[in-house]
Amino acid sequence: MSNIIAIVGRPNVGKSTLFNRLTESRQAIVDDFSGVTRDRHYGAGEWTDKQFTVIDTGGYVANSEDVFEAAIREQVMIAIEEASVLLFLVDVTTGITDLDDEIAKILRRSKKPVFTVANKVDNNALLNETSIFYSFGLGEIYPISSMTGSGTGDLLDAVITHF
Ligand code: GDP
Ligand code: MG
């Protein structure tokens, strides 16, 4: 398989919502509670003349904080192996958390292309808040709203240059 986009990020940043939007399907489970998406979900998507597979890396079920973080790290490692492009999804309404920093550290060591995607940018006022994510040192920030779909076209334009 080629042209694989993996969405990575801590719980509740909107991975499954973005997955649904990119695949125009309802294959991922979206919920307000952390850890609801139990498995990795694969869906098909296309943009202009390019077809691709999207992976929603959910799967965090753990009974302690340490196990939980380890599970997230493992999902990110698998995604780095499996994907041709990684979308590092963060949430503009919460800013940067310790888990975001942990994931960023792993992604900085990856040889695969990483797009830092600021989700929940539902309005222009929130656009100003996205510049904090440059501190990850992972390059350009792509502001999107998975809920409205705004920004996802520009993101896909950039992503498919790798396909
Ligand atoms: P996941 O845990 O990363 O898969 O996150 P989900 O896709 O389950 O979303 C977590 C919560 O964030 C849900 O309540 C979503 O409706 C909400 N959400 C996702 N994308 C957006 C967005 O673009 N804007 C806003 N305001 N909420 C969003
Ligand atoms: Mg999910």
Q: Right CATH number for 4-162 from 3.40.50.2300, 3.40.50.1820, 3.40.50.300, 1.10.3720.10?
A: 3.40.50.300
Please choose, from the candidates 30, 95, 104, the residue with its C-alpha nearest in 3D space to the C-alpha of residue 73. 104
Atom 9 (ligand 1) nearest CA: 14
Give the pLDDT confidence score for residue 73 in this predicted structure: 85
Residue 103 or 64, more confident:
103
Identify the CA nearest to 21 among candidates 10, 33, 7.
7
Going by the DSSP 8-state scheme, the letter that residue 134 receives in this structure is: G
Tell me the CA distances in angstroms from 3 to 19, 53, 161, one per residue in order. 15, 6, 11
- So what's the ipTM on this one? 0.99
Question: What pLDDT does 42 receive?
Answer: 84
Give the containing element (helix H, strand E) for 93.
none
Nearest ligand to the CA of 149 is: 1
* pLDDT greater than 60 at residue 28: no
Residue 128 φ/ψ region, left for φ over 0, alpha for ψ in the -120 to 50 degree band, beta for the rest: alpha
- pLDDT, residue 15, reads 94
Mean pLDDT of the chain: 88
Whole-prediction pTM: 0.91
For 112-123, write each residue's pLDDT tens digit.
999 999 999 999
Pocket lining: 37 vs ligand 1, CB cutoff 6 Å: yes
Pairing type for strands 141-143 and 85-91 reads unpaired
Question: What's the DSSP call for residue 15?
Answer: H
CA 73 to CA 68: how far, in whole Å? 9
Ligand 2 center–CA 61 separation, angstroms: 12
* pLDDT exceeds 70 at position 27: no
The CA-CA-CA angle for residues 146, 56, 105, to 5°, reads 90
| 3-21: average pLDDT | 93
What are the backbone angles phi and psi of residue 150, rounded to the nearest 5°? -65, 135
Q: Is the C-beta atom of 20 inside 6 A of ligand 1?
A: no
Q: Give the model's pLDDT for residue 35.
A: 47
Token readout for 30 is 């979206």
Least confidently predicted of 3-12, 17-26, 140-149: 17-26
**Order of strands across the sheet that contains 40-47:** 40-47, 50-57, 4-8, 85-91, 114-119, 141-143
pLDDT score of 75:
85
| Burial of residue 131 (number of CB atoms within 10 Å: 0-12, 13-18, 19+) | exposed
> 81, 87, 67: which is closest to 15 by C-alpha?
87
Residue 138 CA to ligand 1 center (angstroms) comes to 23
